[in-house]
Amino acid sequence: MKYPINERNKVKRVPKRGHYDKETVYEILDAGNICHISFIHNEQPFIIPTLYGRHQDKIYLHGAASSRMIENIQQGFPVSLAVTHVDSIVLARSAFHHSMNYRSVVAYGSARVISEEEKLRALKAISDQVIEDRWEETRLPNAKELKATTVLEFEIEQASAKIRTGGPSDDKPDYDLDIWAGVIPLKNIAEEAIDDDLLRKGIPRPKSVQSYVNTFK
């Protein structure tokens, strides 16, 4: 299935890199855990980085009820959300054609405050987006903590993914220049976990932590 395409989400710069199918959008969203939320508050544009969790076409966001982001977007105003992964630096023979290989998603929609009954499920989705299965290993939020936290459900109305892969695209005459060109791959890594200084002796590393670290080896 594809998201509807119009002027709001159509990729205009190098349109062949645009993707509108939900599978591609979901893959890029699921590979990350930090998004940037754009909104207008008192006629001033803002962009805020925040954690998120995805379930189907819904993205869950959380924060203090008093935060500017939560206060604004819970009113149902239009919001855009972006997630980007940089996979490599692309070095061309000319400065003009330097680039990056990347995967990105820009989604459009609005958000609503979810009910108290839905809150734990949504917070678990956010937790799992950061590190899977950690939720089951922790003390869950108590009533006071839940009251202090607002959780929003952002429904994706439209989205577009944009992906660049491959090497540099130089002008034809530049291929004869004695200038190195190529790609520097980039990747995220997780180093070995470090115990908290106040951790009681005898507490082993949990499965979620070790599994997370192992995925980067």
How confident is residue 217, by pLDDT bands cut at 50, 70 and 90?
Answer: confident
How confident is residue 206, by pLDDT bands cut at 50, 70 and 90?
Answer: very high
Q: Which helix (H) or strand (E) holds 13?
A: none
Long-range CB pairs of 9-15 (<8 Å, 24+ gap) are 9/106, 9/108, 9/158, 9/159, 9/160, 10/160, 11/160, 11/162, 14/164
How far apart, in whole angstroms, are the C-alpha atoms of residue 134 and residue 183?
36
The separation between the first and the last C-alpha atoms of the chain, rounded to the nearest angstrom, is 34
How confident is residue 216, by pLDDT bands cut at 50, 70 and 90?
Answer: confident
How confident is residue 57, by pLDDT bands cut at 50, 70 and 90?
Answer: very high
Give the model's pLDDT for residue 18.
97
**Per-domain boundaries in the chain:** 15-214
Residue 134: HSE in the Cβ half-sphere, 13 Å Cα cutoff: 15
- Among 210, 165, 190, 180, smallest CA distance to 24 is for 165
Q: Find where tokens 């935060």 sit.
A: 67
Give the model's pLDDT for residue 75.
87
Q: What percent of the chain has pLDDT over 90?
A: 89
Give the model's pLDDT for residue 72.
87
The total of other beta-carbon atoms located within 10 Å of residue 163's CB is 17
Most confident of 71-80, 111-120, 160-169: 160-169
* Contact between 166 and 22 (Cβ < 8 Å): no
- Among 180, 159, 70, 177, smallest CA distance to 107 is for 159
User: Which string of b and e fits 40-77 if b means at least 16 CB within 10 Å?
Assistant: eeeeeeeebebbbbbeebbbbbbbeeeeebbebbbeee
pLDDT tens digits along 90-107: 999 999 999 999 999 999
Q: What is the mean pLDDT of residues 117-146?
A: 95
How confident is residue 145, by pLDDT bands cut at 50, 70 and 90?
Answer: very high
* Contact between 53 and 16 (Cβ < 8 Å): no
pLDDT tens digits along 148-160: 999 999 999 999 9
Mean of all residue pLDDT scores within the chain? 95
CATH architecture of 15-214: Roll (2.30)
The whole-angstrom distance between residue 112's C-alpha and the CA centroid of its chain comes to 19
